[in-house]
Amino acid sequence: MEKLEAASRIWGILVICVCSILTWPGTACSAGTGPAKASEKSTASASDYSKKGADTCLSCHNGERMQHIFRTAHGQGADPNAPFAYLQCESCHGPGSAHTGRQDVGAGHTPIIDFGRDAATPVEAQNAVCMKCHTRDVGLQWAGSAHQNGQVSCADCHDLHAKVDAVSVLTEQADVCYECHMKERADNLKPYAHPVRQGIMTCTACHNPHHSTGDALLNRNTVNELCWSCHTELRGPYLFEHPPVSEDCLLCHEAHGSIQPAMLTQRPPLLCQSCHSQRGHPSVSFTKNGLAGNNPSAFVVNGSCVNCHSQIHGSNHPSGAKLMR
Ligand code: HEC
Ligand code: HEC
Ligand code: HEC
Ligand code: HEC
Ligand code: HEC
Ligand code: HEC
Ligand code: HEC
Ligand code: HEC
Ligand code: HEC
Ligand code: HEC
């Protein structure tokens, strides 16, 4: 019994010693009371960590890329919540004493927590490291979101060893997403598209990458609420509504891009005829002979439907019932 107590006292002293070594380059280890420290302490003992913190790591991993982290939020030892106020590199990569210690010839290096799609560390374990500190801003709703379900790791989108994280840059974000979302890339290269490839808009203008209360990670509850947030002139209310417009813009439009002008899903008259019959006036389309077979019509001669029904999103004109003015 007494022996055990003595042993634990020695351990306590040891922890304090290692802790003070770890405080390089000078931040107070004991001042750290944040979430990272608390949970790290419970899962590993101090001797599992390398002796000189980042210095040990940087003695081998000394490429230029490794220095960049000191320019980012994570590299700021003065921020009491940042990894560099705690265990430095090992706040994220986990205890590294085995990895940094002597290795048997030919045995290769003892692995350490690594991040990204190709890493040996399971995605859940990777993300748990980040969520030690990021439950508040990323949100508990990350659990159950499309990306969490799809086994996407935080590091698939975030590059923490870069000077600037590409996913947060207006002109570079889409390329990060395109690595996995090829269809949206193809759509965005079509002639009529939201100006993402021009670097005017990002994916996160419409999507929230971490979680959402709407479908498809949209940053609004419904598609129309989203579209109206920028295309405010189409919100109405109209004296004469065109019902599909108030229902869902995507009944006629693609969200990312299309080969039809105005990103339509198909061109009028086919678009209109997918819902409207010929009742009222013939709504047949052109044939190669000009007019349709037995059905000559002034309506058709005048070209496609929106030449006359130009107020396709709704009309406020007293005689705009047929969406013509
Ligand atoms: C004695 C030299 C040495 C030290 C010290 C060292 N590493 Fe490594 N590290 C290596 C080698 C060698 C590899 C394997 C590289 C490879 O396979 O290309 C590696 C690989 C890695 C990897 C990639 C994942 C893996 O397990 O292969 C990470 C992440 C890493 N080290 C982080 C660290 C951290 C953090 C520290 C400090 C705690 C550290 N290293 C200290 C030599 C070292
Ligand atoms: C905030 C968490 C975090 C901290 C702190 C951190 N890393 Fe990393 N590290 C990552 C992530 C995430 C990756 C995967 C590559 C990426 O997306 O940034 C990574 C990748 C690596 C790799 C693999 C090679 C590479 O270039 O991607 C090495 C080696 C490495 N880190 C070493 C270090 C060293 C040394 C330190 C301390 C100076 C450190 N890391 C601090 C999160 C961190
Ligand atoms: C020890 C705590 C800690 C860990 C672990 C941690 N972070 Fe952070 N992270 C921070 C702090 C503190 C900031 C600065 C936040 C602020 O100022 O609001 C930050 C900022 C960020 C930012 C925003 C960067 C910026 O410039 O604003 C991203 C993105 C981020 N972290 C991603 C990650 C990812 C991904 C991981 C896991 C690989 C991770 N973090 C692990 C503490 C941590
Ligand atoms: C699908 C890509 C993607 C994934 C996966 C992802 N993020 Fe992000 N994250 C982003 C983008 C994009 C932003 C920038 C949002 C903006 O600027 O509009 C961001 C912003 C952040 C920020 C800055 C604060 C904020 O909320 O804006 C933090 C911190 C962060 N992410 C942490 C994480 C963590 C932790 C994980 C894993 C649990 C994670 N991210 C997973 C794309 C992603
Ligand atoms: C103008 C707003 C907008 C922009 C910008 C945008 N999206 Fe979307 N995205 C949407 C809408 C709306 C949907 C469809 C929601 C639905 O069908 O209910 C969607 C759906 C998706 C889906 C799900 C597709 C499916 O078949 O379920 C993915 C993946 C996606 N977007 C990725 C991206 C990526 C990557 C970018 C950046 C290159 C991007 N989006 C830019 C509005 C946008
Ligand atoms: C590492 C691959 C990867 C990256 C990078 C990535 N995603 Fe995803 N994304 C997925 C997976 C996997 C899903 C799950 C649905 C699926 O299987 O398509 C998904 C789903 C989505 C959805 C649809 C959600 C739904 O409910 O249908 C949207 C929207 C989306 N991602 C947007 C983005 C945006 C925006 C970015 C860049 C900031 C991005 N993704 C980066 C892999 C990725
Ligand atoms: C974040 C703001 C924003 C959101 C949200 C948004 N748009 Fe746009 N939209 C734009 C911008 C910017 C343009 C380009 C205008 C220009 O080129 O003059 C545009 C252009 C368009 C065009 C015309 C394209 C062309 O080739 O003429 C259509 C159609 C369109 N958006 C439909 C939608 C639909 C449908 C939604 C909802 C799914 C939506 N927009 C959501 C900003 C937005
Ligand atoms: C019934 C089909 C239909 C629906 C539903 C629809 N639109 Fe359109 N939209 C069109 C047509 C057709 C055009 C092309 C008009 C033209 O060629 O003059 C167009 C053009 C546009 C344009 C290009 C600029 C302009 O005004 O000509 C924008 C932006 C637009 N729509 C946004 C929206 C938004 C936002 C919604 C949902 C609130 C929506 N549309 C719903 C059929 C529709
Ligand atoms: C998704 C189905 C759908 C599409 C596509 C569609 N409409 Fe409609 N449209 C309707 C519905 C539903 C009504 C309301 C019918 C009613 O009140 O009897 C309507 C009403 C109208 C009216 C007013 C009719 C009246 O009796 O007052 C006109 C004109 C019209 N649409 C023209 C068009 C044109 C032109 C297009 C193609 C650009 C088009 N519509 C595409 C569903 C659609
Ligand atoms: C030359 C102009 C013109 C063209 C082109 C045209 N319309 Fe019309 N449309 C009208 C007029 C005028 C009315 C009103 C007729 C009335 O009140 O009897 C009308 C009425 C309608 C109505 C209401 C039905 C009803 O019984 O009043 C619908 C639906 C409609 N058009 C759809 C279409 C579609 C779909 C197309 C394309 C295939 C189209 N229109 C092309 C002028 C046109």
Q: Is the pLDDT of residue 243 over 90?
A: yes
Q: What is the pLDDT of residue 299?
A: 55
**Cα 261 from Cα 249, distance rounded (Å):** 15
Task: For residue range 81-102, list pLDDT tens digits in order.
Answer: 999 988 999 999 999 888 988 7
For the chain, which residues make up each domain, given as ranges? Answer: 1-102+109-163, 236-308
- Mutational test site, ligand 10, from 279, 322, 325, max ligand atoms within 8 Å of CB: 322
- What's the gap in Å between 178 CA and the centre of ligand 6? 9
**Cα 193 from Cα 204, distance rounded (Å):** 16
Q: Given the CA of residue 220, which atom of ligand 7 is nearest to it?
A: 5
Band (pLDDT 50/70/90 cuts) for residue 7 is: very low
Average pLDDT over residues 18-26: 37
List the residue whose alpha carbon is closest to atom 18 of ligand 7: 195
Q: Are the C-beta atoms of 297 and 290 separated by less than 8 Å?
A: no
Task: For residue range 271-300, list pLDDT tens digits in order.
Answer: 998 998 876 666 555 554 545 555 555 555
Band (pLDDT 50/70/90 cuts) for residue 14 is: very low
Q: What is the pLDDT of residue 85?
A: 87
- What's the gap in Å between 73 CA and the centre of ligand 3? 7
* Region of poorest pLDDT, from 34-43, 188-197, 273-282, 284-293: 34-43
**b/e map 243-263, b = 16+ CB within 10 Å:** eebbeebeebbbbbbbebeeb
SS3 helix, strand, coil % of the chain, rounded to 5?
45, 5, 50
pLDDT, the chain, mean: 83
**Cα 268 from Cα 107, distance rounded (Å):** 68
Model-level pTM?
0.91
**Cα 35 from Cα 132, distance rounded (Å):** 6
**Cα 119 from Cα 126, distance rounded (Å):** 9
DSSP conformation class of 284: P
Q: Is the pLDDT of residue 29 over 50?
A: no
Q: Is the pLDDT of residue 37 over 50?
A: no
Q: Are the C-beta atoms of 145 and 207 separated by less than 8 Å?
A: no
Q: Is the pLDDT of residue 258 over 70?
A: yes
Task: For residue range 301-318, list pLDDT tens digits in order.
Answer: 455 789 889 999 999 999
Angle between helices 35-43 and 123-138 (to 10 degrees): 150
- Mutational test site, ligand 8, from 271, 313, 324, 325, max ligand atoms within 8 Å of CB: 313
**Cα 29 from Cα 22, distance rounded (Å):** 7
Q: What is the pLDDT of residue 105?
A: 75
Average pLDDT over residues 28-46: 45
Cα dihedral 87→88→93→99 (10° resolution): -80
Q: Is the CB of 127 under 6 A from ligand 4?
A: yes
The residue with greater pLDDT, 25 or 45, is 45
The residue with greater pLDDT, 139 or 166, is 166
